[in-house]
A and B are shown apart, each in its own frame.
Chain A
Amino acid sequence: MEDQNKNNEDNKTPESNESGRRDFLKFGVLAAGLTVAGVGLQKVFSGEKNSDEKASGEKVKVLTTDGKLIEVYAADVKKADACCVPSAEARQGIPGKKFVMVIDLSRCKDALKCQKSCEKHHQLPEQDKWLKVFKMQESEETAPYWMPKPCFHCDHPPCVKVCPVDATFKRTDGIVLVDNERCIGCRFCMAACPYSARVFNWSEPVTPARHENDTYSPETSTPRKKGTVEKCDFCPDVIRQGKLPHCVTACPNGVYYFGDQNEDTVTNGDTTVRLSQLLRDKAGYRYLESLGTEPSVYYLPAANRIFPFKDREIKDEKKEESKS
């Protein structure tokens, strides 16, 4: 791991920009310590802007998600709240990208770290879950397994089709977003979505005090708005900073791969692989393919699982008991 970190830092030097390949994700410092070198990890933003600062060679120490302290160029550090793209730009998407996610069901043990991270970053209360982890069992004879389900960001999104005011839209980079400043709250998209991906702000959402003065952007969906629909957004604000969505970085088991279909590369923060090869080798599929919605989220079957299935229901019941 130490070696990997070192390699990765090497990879982050300006020279790597010369590798003629098109831009891929810049994972940024959080993911930096976890990435494997040599798979063309570059930046969304051109490195030129920062080259002067880099030349100065100033470095800072940052903590990675798995608790390692690493040293990176100060210029690579982007503050999370610095990102707020205006609505018009948020509708366009990041040029040249087509974001995809691959969820490896064989690695999921229902740790729910993804969900907690999602809730935290999107200021969601406990009952509004953008990301759900379903207990699935096809039939009585087959084994149960956990299935995390974000929004599928379909290429033929039924929700976008029915929206009367273009409040939910499909971007060039494949992401489906909601403009909560335009949404009229008719909830047709909720009825149209076959995957129950959308949730509604039935009452005035609680905005944490420190976020009260944030500017709204469809890319952050915050501050949340009463009477409008929201859903998993693939965290476009952090992607723009070259990082991975929160669920991907939060998962301790590397369930989530995220990446760019145009680059044919996805990473779970730990391993970076060819998308096509991953789907071929592990028999990837999309949920309810027959509906023709063309999801951007693939699943790898729950075969050769690394964790035994442990049911959650007891935990849920306890929770409900303590509530009542």
Chain B
Amino acid sequence: MGVTLIEFSLDKRSGVATYMQIVQQVEQAMRLGRLTPGDRLPTAAEVVGRLAINPNTVLRAYRELESRGLVEPRPGLGTFVRRSLARPRDPALERRLAAWVRDAREAGLGPDDIRALVESALSGGLIGEATA
């Protein structure tokens, strides 16, 4: 057994099915570059030994990730990350976002306000957004 690279956590009040929470957390870790091609996902036994959930839930999440082409099972070895979802880092972009978040906080916005603004901007709902 190799080292455990990521651990899952569950939000029982989110209304999102448990297996889908695991799928989303793997995808998130891949996007952030915390999981890269060749990394082994924790085994079902490792996951349920921490979360006290049904092992079939973990296997279902891994099957879903496999059908999305993100991971592949290697019999007897485990389930491995197949590709990268991480984009090349853009320090300038990250600096501007950090500055913007700081401005938003100083303007008195809380995390939920900030998330709502970002969601709105993503869906094109902010006034003054460039359409060209």
A and B form one complex? no
